[in-house]
């Protein structure tokens, strides 16, 4: 009997030793711990809703056509009984300004998203880019996946000499402040800037801002970005972002959390924009409008002339529940200072503003929405950049482009070590 018990103990010890060795081998091969793997699986089930149809994009993305009432927004407890608003009560007056103007000397086809080459989503669904396991695993935590770092907003009013080193983000922007704003519009030149390291990104966007630049900042953002960490490649992608507490606990990119309510079946947040501009060649741009519906109070987004994408419900915000106090347009990069040097991650086209059309990136027909729900040209546009030798901005005015500016740069160079 004693020998039998001893034998069983030996077998149990052997099995535990083998399990421990397997765990060590998994860790040595970079395998994901079981607990984290389960957390990621649960998170993916929350993000990747059941699809009516799935479309494989040429770039490898899977676009899931999800019923409009099953989208991630409705995971928010305050939206459980929300009635979807299928169109804004009002568009801003004067929307025709600058529309359908040809930006390039060459005739070019209209922009689309790459997944359109393989199909479209049916009526009453919205296209959602499927989140992959490997994308989530790149994040330092589940909570931080799909979020920006705290203090990444460009503050042109700051005189803090530690601003640059504190945030690790650099900007080249035009901005207006000192009034109340109810939206903004711009046409943005589309490029595919080079990214030096996967943990860096380069984007071009507009910011709708309310509150201070402290812990309570409200922000709505939209534009294009290249972010290997977020998307797993270097493609140029349409994106949105929102936060009501300066990127601390609220908000996210695209539809990676509950908040933004999408109504369009045509455009996928986070999907690749196609085609893109080439240095000295054809130029492409996208038009983005964000405005506050004066009746319902929600913040709406329109892409191009034809696609109203959806809205951010006003209850998500504190200051922006009323109006914005600053509008910004421009570029942003992450400078992680690899090897103690400035990053060579490019902004815009990767060329300085002085090179002009076809070589430097631009924002044109920048406008704001006033308290009468009218689009108008902004007054007193300022510019801001932390290091003009790395990334710069130059404004102009006149002709079909209205108020415009060229911006960007290559990052590290002989004047930006």
For the chain, domains (ranges, CATH) are 169-408 (2.60.120.1270)
User: What pLDDT shows up at residue 33?
Assistant: 84
Q: What's the pLDDT at 6?
A: 56
pLDDT tens-digit series, residues 117-143: 999 999 999 999 999 998 888 887 888
How many C-beta atoms lie closer than 10 Å to residue 123's C-beta? 7
Which stretches within 139-188 are classed as H helix?
A: 163-167
163-212 per-position pLDDT tens digit: 444 568 999 999 999 999 999 999 999 999 999 999 999 999 999 999 98
**Residue 358: strand, helix, or coil:** coil
Assign 28 a pLDDT band (cuts: 50, 70, 90). Answer: very low
pLDDT: is 306 or 69 the higher one?
69
pLDDT at 156 (0 to 100): 84
DSSP 364: E
* DSSP state at residue 81: T
Element housing 46 (H / E) = helix 34-47
CB 78 within 8 A of CB 315: yes
> What pLDDT shows up at residue 159?
54
Rounded CA separation 208/368 (Å): 10
CB 387 within 8 A of CB 411: no
Which pLDDT score is estimated for 140? Answer: 78
What sign has the CA pseudo-torsion 129, 130, 134, 139? positive
Give the active site residues.
221, 332
Question: What is residue 7's predicted lDDT score, i.e. its pLDDT?
Answer: 58
d(CA 200, CA 214): 24
* C-alpha angle 388-164-254 in degrees, rounded to nearest 5: 95
């Amino acid at each position: 009997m004693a020998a039998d018990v001893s034998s069983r103990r030996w077998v149990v010890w052997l099995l535990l030793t083998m399990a421990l060795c397997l765990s060590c081998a998994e860790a040595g091969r970079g395998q994901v711990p079981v607990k984290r793997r389960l957390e990621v699986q649960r998170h993916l089930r929350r993000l990747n809703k059941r699809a009516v149809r799935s479309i494989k994009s040429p770039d490898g993305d899977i676009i899931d056509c999800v019923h409009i009432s099953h989208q991630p927004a409705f995971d928010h407890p305050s939206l459980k009984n929300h009635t979807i608003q299928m169109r804004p009560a009002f568009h801003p007056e004067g929307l025709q300004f600058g529309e359908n103007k040809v930006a390039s000397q060459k005739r070019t086809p209209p922009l689309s998203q790459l997944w359109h080459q393989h199909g479209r989503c049916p009526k009453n669904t919205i296209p959602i880019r499927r989140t992959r396991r490997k994308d989530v695993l790149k994040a330092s935590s589940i909570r931080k996946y799909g979020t920006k770092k705290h203090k990444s907003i460009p503050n042109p009013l700051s005189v803090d000499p530690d601003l640059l080193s504190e945030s690790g983000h650099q900007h080249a922007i035009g901005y207006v402040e000192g009034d109340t704003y109810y939206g903004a519009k711009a046409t943005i030149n589309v490029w595919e800037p080079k990214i030096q390291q996967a943990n860096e990104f380069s984007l071009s966007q507009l910011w709708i801002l309310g509150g201070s630049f402290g812990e309570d900042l409200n922000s709505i953002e939209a534009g294009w970005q290249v972010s290997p960490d977020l998307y797993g490649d270097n493609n140029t992608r349409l994106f949105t972002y929102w936060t009501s507490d300066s990127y601390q606990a609220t908000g996210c990119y695209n539809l990676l959390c509950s908040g933004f309510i999408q109504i369009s079946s045509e455009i996928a947040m986070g999907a690749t924009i196609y085609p893109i501009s080439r240095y000295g060649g054809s130029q492409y741009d996208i038009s983005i409008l964000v405005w506050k519906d004066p009746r319902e109070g929600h913040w709406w987004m329109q892409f191009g002339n034809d696609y109203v994408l959806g809205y951010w419900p006003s209850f998500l915000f504190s200051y922006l529940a009323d109006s914005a106090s600053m509008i910004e347009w421009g570029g942003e990069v992450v400078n992680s200072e690899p090897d103690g040097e400035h990053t060579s991650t490019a902004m815009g086209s990767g060329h300085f503003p002085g090179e002009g059309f076809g070589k430097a990136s631009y924002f044109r027909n920048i406008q704001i929405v006033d308290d009468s729900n009218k689009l108008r040209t902004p007054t007193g546009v300022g510019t801001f950049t932390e290091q003009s030798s790395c990334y710069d901005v130059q404004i102009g005015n006149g002709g079909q482009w209205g108020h415009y500016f060229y911006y960007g740069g290559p990052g590290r160079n002989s004047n930006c070590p």
